[in-house]
Structure 1
């Protein structure tokens, strides 16, 4: 297939193929640009794209981050973000005609990654998951419900293994939706 839209996005069997294609091409374009310029790059994308592992492998089998790691090895470092509560902009999945709007969410339930990460420190912080002590790393390696908010909401938390998914993790206690222009 030549483009993502060469797949039938209404056929559940073709969605994983389309998502794999999209993230592979995004990774190829990123690496191509870096090799053309020779410069270091900062890639900003949704956690689901930059992570090494997918939180939803049935529908989203291989992420851009996994492709980038395969292409450039340890020269690729990924940072993930979690948050306790707050607001953000997204398309309303309950009303496809609704333009982007602000959503607000409270804390996730006990047992989720965000619930525990919120209890670690009263302030925002980051973790270098490559050097986290063994007990914390073991906890971070287990799949737990995690918000992976992309362009659409509401969605269910996904079972994410933070340590295998990211090199660095930033945790914010509260976020605020950006002002739309």
Structure 2
């Protein structure tokens, strides 16, 4: 969840809703035993200098040779979490775009799971497959930037090339609403295969569609009404399953429709007892994000999960709000099949909602030497990536310690800290660091 101002109002939690040498590759010629002994005593900065890989550009479409070391880092993993330290920095988005290009063109990844609402992503998926529609209109406001649109347009161009037989897909993992197109697809599917079933399902969906448009509407409902809608959502899933044989139930198409129904269940089940136990809402929210990412991987193949660092990390860096995050669920389910790539920055701007509910550039300046970012920024490379799993000695210890780490939320509140305390080594397998970032270009 991106914790946009509208979402924050709905749930009444304002501001929370989420180099020395010029070598471009690590040294490899030293005797391994001597190198190992030396590495044990290197400072974190020295280790990063020797083991990080310079990134020559943050611009999509440029030569990808500088990212080649990623091939060995990812190995045989089939699901990759690609994080962002905030939801609105140009260079983080464009660098992530380059990494997506590499994962697609060099490693055979085909599915991009976005931290976007399920219904919006259905429209984005249709766009990258057909070219129909304007992708900027199918995105949450905070994601309506040129950089995000650019990657969707790149995916569309890739799919339009007949030489690329395996088409790229887009799936949404978030459930901040259930839009009308989700219900429409269920209706059209039932009408196609078993039209006599439609009135029974439609009666339930009509009522649900009126109250699942956004968090504000649904969260204002009395608990008894929410419980009624949760039962209606479950019944839709049950009806689909009971009529599986006559609904082409072994098809990929049926699996998609059934997941539509699952998303309705996810949304309607999040708010029970919110006023008494808000943590339950956040727990269920990230369980839903995990379930939707897992569905995409199972149905569509090698998957990139594009989301905030907090949602893809292997540990919980947002403990004050979330009991457990999607990345933790992904780790439990996939083990070594799940590899995380986090992003970090030293200073700069990102887009966020201000207290007047307007998206504006927010600035973070690095001024705390105790942060991970301060050390990461001391490396002489202005942008680089590194496999944190290879760290030893002092660096390994440093990575395992819990220290402040710069982060940008969807809502910029000057009274709130812009760091979280976490263990970088436990959060990410691989880290991309960019010294200075700027706010993305809004296209609304």
Q: Structure 1-normalised TM-score?
A: 0.88
**In 2, are the aligned partners of 1:53 and 1:164 still within 8 Å (CA)?**
yes
**Aligned pairs (5 A) from 1:42-121:** 42-92=304-354, 95=355, 97-121=356-380
> Which residue does the alignment assign to 1:24?
287
**In 2, are the aligned partners of 1:8 and 1:14 still within 8 Å (CA)?**
yes
Counterpart selection for 2:434 from 157, 172, 175: 172
**In 1, are the aligned partners of 2:352 and 2:360 still within 8 Å (CA)?**
yes
CA distance in 1, matches of 2:358, 2:273: 24
> Which residue does the alignment assign to 1:159?
421
- Bigger strand fraction: 1
Deviation at 1:68, TM superposition (A): 0.5
Greater Cα radius of gyration, structure 1 or 2? 2
Cα deviation 1:13-35 (Å, max 9, x = unaligned): 62322111111111111111111
Please list every run of 5 or more consecutive structure 2 residues that lacks an aligned counterpart in the other structure: 1-229, 231-264
CA distance in 2, matches of 1:172, 1:32: 32
**In 2, are the aligned partners of 1:84 and 1:108 still within 8 Å (CA)?**
no
> Which residue does the alignment assign to 1:35?
298
Asked which structure has the greater RCO (Cα within 8 Å, sep 6+), the reply is 2
The size of the alignment, in residue pairs, is 175
Deviation at 1:58, TM superposition (A): 3.4
Q: Structure 2-normalised TM-score?
A: 0.38
Deviant stretches of 4+, over 6 Å: none
Deviation at 1:5, TM superposition (A): 4.5
Deviation at 1:171, TM superposition (A): 1.0
CA distance in 2, matches of 1:59, 1:7: 17
CA distance in 1, matches of 2:376, 2:431: 10
